[in-house]
Every structure is written in C-alpha cells, then in structure tokens.
Amino acid sequence: GKRVNVSENRPALHTALRLPADAHLEVEGEDIVGAVHDSLAQMERLVQRLHAGQWRGATGKPIRHVVNLGVGGSDLGPLMVTHALADYRPSDIHPVEVHFASTMDGSQLADYLSRFNPETTLFVLSSKSFTTIDTLSNANTARDWLIGRLTQHADLPEVSPHAKPISAELIVRQHFIGVSASPDKMSEWGITPDHQLMFWEWVGGRYSLWGTIGLPIALVIGMENFRELLAGAHAMDSHFRDAPLEDNLPVLLGLAGIWNVNFLDIRAHSILPYDGRLEYFAAYLEQLEMESNGKSVTRQGQAVNYSTCPVLWGQLGPNAQHAFYQLLHQGTQPVVCDFIAPLKRYDEVENLDTRRHLKSQHRLALANCFAQSRVLMLGDDALEEDGPRPEHKRYRGNQPSSTVLLDKLTPATLGSLIALYEHKVFVQAVIWDINPFDQWGVELGKQIATDTQAIIDGEGDIGRMDASSRGLIEAFWAAEQQ
C-alpha cells in the first residue's frame, strides 16, 4: 500500500484486484479487499441481467449489442482478453455481442451505428478520469444517435407512431453503463448511479482489466471464467512474491531483458504468439511495456545515462514469418523475440476428423515456432550442409529469444501470462530506477491538441504556430473549402 508511484503520490495496487475475498490488504488504514469484491459483485449483477435478457432498452427490447467505448487500458486489455478467450463463451445465455470503439476519428463507431438497432444497443463508457477526449467524443456521438433515433419513431417501424414519447433521460439510463474512478463526472454526464461501476486511483489504466474495466470480458466469458482469470493472475503474484530468484519467472524474464538491452545493446523486442487467439497480445504489451518503462528520468528526477525500454512490437508468429522475419534473420537491426504458444489445443472438438485435422495444424504451428527460435539461435549451423553458402543465403544466428509455453490457453493460464509480463515490467523498472506507474509522456500532446483544435475551429491565433504546423492547418482549411 505504499505510494510507489512517486510522481503522482499514489500506491500501485492492481494486484489487489485479484486477491481472494478472504485476503487482507490495508491502504492508509483501510482494508480495500472488501471494496474490491463489492465492485465485482455489482459488476456480476449487471452481467447477469444482460445474460438473462432482462436488461431492456428504452423501448422495452432486450439488449443484443454492447459497445465498449474506451481507449488505452480501457480498450486494449478487454479487447485482447475477449478475443483470446472467446472459446469460453457460456452457451446458455441470452445472446449479447460485445464490440469495441476506441479511435477518436469515429471510424469504428460509425460502422456500428450504421448497422445496429438503437433499441437493442448498450454502450459501456470506460474512462478512469472520465475526461478522456477520445472516449467522450465517441460517447457524445453515441448519445446523440440514440436520442435522435429513439425520440423520433419514424426510423423504428416496429414502434407504434402512437407510442408514448421516450425521454432523453430514460435513453441514457437504459443505454449507458459508466466505468470510472470519478462518480461525480459520470453522474454529471447523465449515467444513473445504479449503472456506475467504480475503480480506484491506485489502479493504473494499463493494469485495470482485472476489475470493473473488465466488464466486456465478463460479458463474453461469464463471471465464473472471469474469476478464473483473476485466480491465474493471483497465482503468478504469489509465485513472484515467494519463489527464489533463480526459479522466479518474472525475475528471469526481466533479467534476460536487462541483459539484452544494457549489455548486448539490443533496442527492439518482438512479441510472436503462435496461436491466433492471441492476435491482440502484442498490442496489449506495447502499452504495458512502453508506457510503463519508456522513461528517461529516474525516480529521483535525474536523467538516465543508459537505455531503458526497447521498442516493442509484434504480430501473430505465422503471419509475421511472411512479413518481417526477413529482418529478424538477415537484417542489420538486432531484435530479441518472445515466442508464445500453448502445447495443447482442439481437444474439445467433437468431430473426430475435424479434430484430427486441426490438431495437425496446431502441430504445424508449434513446429514453426520451435524452428524459428532454433534458427535465430544457431543460424546456418541449424543446417547440416557441406561447404559454404552464398552470402545472401547466410543466417548469422546468435540472436536471443525466449519461448513461453502454456499447457493450454485458458482463463487461468492467460491470467498468469499477463501477470508474468506485468511483474517483468516491474523488475526492470526497479533495476533501471524508473517509475513504471506514471505516463507523463502522453500529456503534452493532448494539451497541444486542444490548442490546435481551437485554431482549426477558427478560435485561436494561427500566427503563433510554427511554419510546419501552419502549413498542415492551412491544408485542412483549403480542403474544407473545396
């Protein structure tokens, strides 16, 4: 419960979100475990209403589509987990489809608004501060769409033209859930207290999927599986706390990264899952690692004179083999790779022939995963050939990689995998003496964007802008006048 986030004077206690109910953890004299489980219980009640078909929109129809409006940690974590665990969707529930809209340009949201019935669409407005412009711009558009469509029955042929008018207040109450650390701002926006889910200032956005920000996850996989996700993460927390250093997985992974960055001077890191369900895992780790450890100032406020977080990116391994593995094997930029794969898959497929074919494909994926790490390590020596090879066919080898194997991809093992990387980030932050829990590098851009928008809208002085920015704004003005 100590205030380890020194620049914001806050604790960092996302691990508390996955503590069992009988645990005890005090923050400044208050046991927070009870409040955590109260919030999960409230989330479970909302999930049960939606899964039972009891949550109805303003016209009385049950909700069929839930759109999560969030960005960063309010989007990437839930998006990644719902995709990875889609196989665990309960079969005996009212069908509710979960979607995600994060981009401030509205392109994702516009697609949903063109296809969904407003009577059966619910929006989850997820924002820790409830001031994030990306999310609020989408939320305001969604609210106006709902009010415009539902208060005018012309576009809703199934609603009688003599039906009682629907108020904007009722529409917002029945079609929005808020998830935030700021209940006052949720209420001010119009979200009823019964539909507000809380989390706390001591939970960083990129660490928040374990609590009420995980509502979309619970809607997809059910609360029982959601609790398995938490249990898997807690198991890794216990391992990190108790295991000796030489057997401690987060410590070993973190130290390998320190060696690669600070001793081998490798500045790039690729995440390569060999399972299509982990399609968004690399994008999730991009935020987790680079927003946490992409720092150049120590916890004491001094500039560092050593490298910290490398550039991290990735793709599904089988697809990346046909995209950027050329650079990994023969480029001039050294890259460290993490390969991730489950050992078992498709045991639940009922048709024997289909199961046999799918298991063969899984073995093919594993063979490629193991082969790529071998070639990175050995290069040309992986082949038993006589005589030298021409230079354009040479593989230098001696390139580091780690392979993380799961028994199966389940809610529990995914929870452990995510927590493994969370703790690895913390290990490296301790060694680099940086704060992994703030993100001041994202603030100035948002401030300048607000000033720039005022100028674009004709409410600011373009004369104070630099020549490059003036040119961009003037190009936009010219395009609007055509």
C-beta of residue 427 within 8 angstroms of C-beta of residue 242? no
Residue 288 structure tokens: 């987790």
Q: Which one, of 296, 266, 207, lies nearest residue 402 by Cα? A: 266
Burial of 132 (0-12, 13-18, 19+ CB in 10 A): buried
Q: Which one, of 203, 69, 47, 209, lies nearest residue 127 by Cα? A: 69
- For residue 291, give Cα distances in angstroms to 249, 288, 337: 22, 6, 19
Four-point Cα dihedral 48, 49, 54, 60, nearest 10 = -150
Which residue is associated with the tokens 């082969």?
A: 371
**What are phi and psi for residue 294, nearest 5 degrees?**
-80, 65
The distance in angstroms from the start CA to the end CA of the chain is 58
C-beta of residue 268 within 8 angstroms of C-beta of residue 333? yes
Strand-pair partners of 123: 67, 176
CA distance 289 to 197: 27
**What are phi and psi for residue 66, nearest 5 degrees?**
-120, 125
Which residues are catalytically annotated?
291, 322, 446
**What are phi and psi for residue 269, nearest 5 degrees?**
-140, 125
**What are phi and psi for residue 89, nearest 5 degrees?**
-65, 130
C-beta of residue 343 within 8 angstroms of C-beta of residue 406? yes
